[in-house]
Amino acid sequence: MKFIDEFRDGELAKQIGERIHAEARSDRAYSFMEFCGGHTHAISRYGVLELLPSNVRMVHGPGCPVCVLPIGRIDLAIRLALERDAIVCTYGDTMRVPASDSLSLMKAKARGGDIRMVYSAADALAIARANPQREVVFFAIGFETTTPPTALAIRDAQREGLSNFSVLCCHVLTPSAITHILESPEVRQFGTVPIDGFVGPAHVSIVIGSQPYEHFAEEYRKPVVIAGFEPLDVMQAILMLVRQVNRGAAHVENEFTRAVTPEGNLRAQALVSEVFELRPSFEWRGLGEVPYSALKIREAFAAFDAERRFDLAYQSVPDNKACECGAILRGVKRPTDCKIFGTVCTPENPVGSCMVSSEGACAAHYTYGRFRDIPIVAATATEEVTP
């Protein structure tokens, strides 16, 4: 399949791996953060780490929108369903994120809440049209990729006069989170790792373009290479980062030229700007309060803001004490550093958000990488195999 098969070519992957080995200097270590969960998934699924030299380390970042969703936001959606009799619509992975009181949206549905999985904001609009006597709330999450469809749904609802539809907006912004990781004392007090550069997100960058990353590449002297989600995309991006570090450069480069432009999708950006504005602050799981890192619905569309319509008050809720998702999202720890990884916490029974989505670091490592961490016990020479 064009743009897929050729980016999964094993022989080409081997050649790029050999080039990385040749150009990575033996007298230094390289630490690169892949911000996006799609890259984490690709690295684990296709065995990219096995093709890298030992001094090139990939650090998992907070780039899964389900993973960074704080418990308190999920609690708001659950309350709307159980206490306000609203039909709550959201994406599939969001249904399984653990919330307070041993609940999740899925478990709240089992208790009688009318909570429905949808594939798009347009699906939630259709449910609102079909149920004019019920309040329908779209629990909207995601980075810049899923924000334009939410904005379109709000604008369509206003034009139709769809008075029973509203949005619980939890859309967050990628560049703000990367900046926060680099400079926030609140993050540093929990521990941090040296980061030499970033593999920039793919789908997000299709919408916002490559230009928004230039500020922190220049100010913080960290190179960024925007990459597609296929294994050869990621490996080529790593090679480009190694070359920048070796030169002492800090630029934004675009490996994903088949989809990403410097300016991005201007029509999508204009729609988002029409409907949304910046929040002064927003809590991210693992990062705490991040200034100007999320969106809220503008006053002109206030009638479709579930937080205003239902007078919702957000309360921060701490994570499960046994869960290390916060540290994993910051790149401070790896999934296997968590004592409950793969035992108490599994994709079937997620304790933390990183195990919920397939793009979460823990879920990706559980599915594709955990057996690499099991020591191999060699058979003794005296063993005999009986036929």
**Residue 335 near residue 366 (C-beta atoms within 8 A):** yes
Q: Report the alpha-carbon distance of residue 74 to residue 72 in Å, rounded.
A: 5
Instruction: Mark whether 245 and 286 lie in a shared domain.
Output: no
Instruction: Mark whether 248 and 341 lie in a shared domain.
Output: no
According to DSSP H, which parts of 92-145 are helical?
A: 105-110, 121-130
Instruction: Mark whether 88 and 158 lie in a shared domain.
Output: yes
CATH for 128? 3.40.50.11740
Q: Report the alpha-carbon distance of residue 110 to residue 107 in Å, rounded.
A: 5
pLDDT digits (tens), the chain, 387 positions:
566 777 888 999 999 999 999 999 999 999 999 988 889 989 988 999 999 999 999 988 887 888 889 999 999 999 999 999 999 999 998 999 889 998 999 999 999 999 999 999 999 999 999 999 999 999 999 999 999 999 999 999 999 999 999 999 999 998 888 777 776 554 455 445 678 999 999 999 999 999 999 987 888 889 999 999 999 999 999 999 999 999 999 999 999 999 999 999 999 999 999 999 999 999 988 778 889 999 999 999 999 999 999 999 999 998 888 888 888 877 778 899 999 999 999 988 888 888 988 778 898 888 887 655 544 433 333 333 333
Instruction: Mark whether 80 and 167 lie in a shared domain.
Output: yes
Alpha-carbon separation of residue 259 from 52, 211, 347 (angstroms): 26, 14, 32
Beta-bridged to residue 324, according to DSSP, are none
Instruction: Give the distance between the most distant pair of CA atoms in the chain.
Output: 80
**Residue 199 near residue 60 (C-beta atoms within 8 A):** no
Residue of 62, 70, 66 lying closest to 282 (CA atoms): 70
Q: Report the alpha-carbon distance of residue 43 to residue 58 in Å, rounded.
A: 9
**Residue 86 near residue 78 (C-beta atoms within 8 A):** no
Q: Could you list the residue range(s) of the whole structural domain that residue 30 is in?
A: 5-63+192-201+219-254
Q: Report the alpha-carbon distance of residue 243 to residue 196 in Å, rounded.
A: 12
**Residue 48 near residue 234 (C-beta atoms within 8 A):** yes
Q: What angle do CA 136, 91, 69 make, to 5 degrees?
A: 100
Instruction: Mark whether 344 and 362 lie in a shared domain.
Output: yes
Q: Report the alpha-carbon distance of residue 115 to residue 108 in Å, rounded.
A: 8
What integer pLDDT is reported at residue 377 of this predicted model?
Answer: 38
For residue 378, being part of any structural domain is answered with no
Chain position carrying tokens 């503008």: 298
Q: Report the alpha-carbon distance of residue 165 to residue 330 in Å, rounded.
A: 35
Instruction: Mark whether 160 and 301 lie in a shared domain.
Output: yes
Please, which contacts does 189-194 make with residues 24 or more away whose CB atoms are closer than 8 Å?
A: 190/326, 190/327, 190/330, 190/332, 191/327, 191/330, 191/332, 192/330, 192/331, 192/332, 193/31, 193/59, 193/331, 193/332, 194/31
Instruction: Mark whether 227 and 248 lie in a shared domain.
Output: yes
Number of domains in the chain: 3
For residue 179, being part of any structural domain is answered with no
DSSP 304: G
Cα 71 → chain centroid? 16
Instruction: Mark whether 279 and 341 lie in a shared domain.
Output: no
CATH for 46? 3.40.50.11750
Instruction: Mark whether 164 and 302 lie in a shared domain.
Output: yes
For residue 318, being part of any structural domain is answered with no
Cα 124 → chain centroid? 22
Number of Cβ within a 10 Å radius of residue 46: 19
Side chain identity at residue 317, one-letter code? V
**Residue 151 near residue 122 (C-beta atoms within 8 A):** no
What integer pLDDT is reported at residue 357 of this predicted model?
Answer: 80
For residue 377, being part of any structural domain is answered with no
For residue 317, being part of any structural domain is answered with no
For residue 259, being part of any structural domain is answered with no
What integer pLDDT is reported at residue 119 of this predicted model?
Answer: 96
According to DSSP H, which parts of the chain are helical?
A: 10-23, 37-45, 71-82, 105-110, 121-130, 147-160, 174-183, 185-188, 203-208, 214-219, 231-247, 266-275, 306-309, 325-329, 361-364
What integer pLDDT is reported at residue 261 of this predicted model?
Answer: 97
Beta-bridged to residue 176, according to DSSP, are none
Instruction: Mark whether 275 and 292 lie in a shared domain.
Output: yes
Q: Cβ-count burial of 98 within 10 angstroms (0-12 exposed, 13-18 middle, 19+ buried)?
A: buried
Instruction: Mark whether 51 and 79 lie in a shared domain.
Output: no
Instruction: Mark whether 45 and 103 lie in a shared domain.
Output: no
What integer pLDDT is reported at residue 192 of this predicted model?
Answer: 52
What integer pLDDT is reported at residue 358 of this predicted model?
Answer: 76
What integer pLDDT is reported at residue 386 of this predicted model?
Answer: 38
Question: Please, what sign has the CA dihedral across residues 319, 323, 325, 330?
Answer: positive
Question: Collapsing DSSP states into helix, strand and coil, what is residue 256?
Answer: coil
Residue of 375, 340, 387, 361 lying closest to 42 (CA atoms): 361
For residue 41, being part of any structural domain is answered with yes
